[in-house]
Amino acid sequence: MFRTQQSRSGNDLRFSLLILPGLRRAGMVVRLLMCSVLLLALTALSGKFSEAQAAGSTAGKHRAASSGAKGRNRSVRKKAALPAKARPPARGRRRGRAAAAAAAAGATAATAAAVASPASPTPAITTNTKPELLPRCGFTEASRRHIFSRGVYVLDEETNTPLFERNADTVAPIASVTKLMTAIVWLDQKSLPMANRLEVTEDDLDNLKFTHSRLNVGASLSRADMLHIALMSSENRAAAAMSRDYPGGRPAFIAAMNARAQALGMPHTHFENGTGLSPENVSTPRELAELVKAANRYQLIRNDSLDKQKIINIGRGQLQYINSNRLIRYGQVNATVQKTGFINESGHNMVLRLLVHDRRPVIVTMLGSGTADGSRLDGVRIAKWLNCSLN
């Protein structure tokens, strides 16, 4: 009996060793077949879904254009389902359709015109805004209080727009700013050989303020050098000699100066001499802007007033002169014309024709600063306002 059970167990073991691997392989085959069937079914379903979408879109396209009985019946049923107030009036729909069609036609025509014709440049937008000094550039109430000059006028020459003014119409002595008018009237002579020499005489001495000069009586200079040091260094005896060197003498010269001032539209400007040493040589900051404009038209005045230094042959030796305006001498501003002036009655004066960004002309006139440094610092401050505010 024990052998019989042992044989059965041996048979069972052989059976499991032979049959079970086959069953496992069959199970794997079955699973592969089922996966294949599922893939085929999913592929078929996706194809039917794509066909249905294509059919639906085609039907949607043709449904709008269809005029069959079914289409009419559907629209009738929809109208009947809507309440009376919700139905849009037929006339309004027609107008809406007509407007939509007209708009579509207009858009099509515009597009065709744009394609057919070359694109035209967009016109530039012009603005009439006037130039102004900007607070972000330091032009504030606080900074304006730090201006030392009692009278100031700043004019944008390009637009003839005043940018800043303080006591611009107050009449005040102008001191050696006078020499710009002296140069203008002297150069207006028809025949003036600039190389001919002009001698300093006792008539050229200052008997009003008794100022000193390095040009002694008897010094002989060319007319060109007389003009040069009168403008660059504000040499008083040179200016006095120039006013004497005029047809009709000094009285005729002063009369010509006053006539020219009236011709330039300077009714409050008056001259008593050609040096500016008289406190009766007066003007206003606004009217001096016209004098600066006129002086800028003369090449010699522009060159001589801006020269930094000059060696002059006086016949018995040489003298070196420098520019009396430190803004010009040290290149702190870019200008085309300048002149400074001082007497006790006037304080320190300065006029400039600045070139903002090397191209935009702005005239600055300043009268009545208590010190030379005050006048110079006013020029620097105003130049900074201009360079930041203007294009």
- Active-site choice (149, 233, 234, 389): 234
Within 10 A of 35 (CB to CB), how many other CB atoms are there?
Answer: 10
Q: Which two tokens stand for residue 200?
A: 């300093």
179 is catalytic: yes
- Active-site choice (57, 130, 143, 179): 179
Within 10 A of 137 (CB to CB), how many other CB atoms are there?
Answer: 15
* Helix, strand, coil % in the chain, rounded to nearest 5: 50, 15, 30
CA distance 282 to 276: 9
Q: pLDDT tens for the chain, 391 residues: list them.
A: 444 444 445 555 555 555 555 556 666 766 777 877 777 777 666 655 555 454 444 444 444 444 444 444 444 344 444 444 444 444 444 454 544 444 444 444 444 444 344 444 444 444 458 999 999 999 999 999 999 999 999 999 999 999 999 999 999 999 999 999 999 999 999 778 999 999 999 999 999 999 999 999 999 999 999 999 999 999 999 999 999 999 999 999 999 999 999 999 999 999 999 999 999 999 999 999 999 999 999 999 999 999 999 999 998 899 999 999 999 999 999 999 999 999 999 999 999 999 999 999 999 999 999 999 999 999 999 999 999 999 9
Give me the pLDDT at residue 46, please. 62
- Of the candidates 206, 107, 170, 174, the residue with the CA atom closest to the CA atom of residue 341: 174
Asked whether the whole model's pTM tops 0.75, one would answer: no
- Active-site choice (176, 233, 369, 389): 176
Q: Phi and psi at residue 201, in whole multiples of 5°?
A: -120, 175
Give me the pLDDT at residue 4, please. 44
Give me the pLDDT at residue 190, please. 77
234 is catalytic: yes
Q: Phi and psi at residue 361, in whole multiples of 5°?
A: -80, 130
Instruction: State whether the Cα torsion 201-202-208-210 is positive or negative.
Output: positive
CA distance 291 to 268: 12
Pairing state between β 151-156 and 197-199: unpaired
In one-letter notation, the amino acid at residue 239 is A
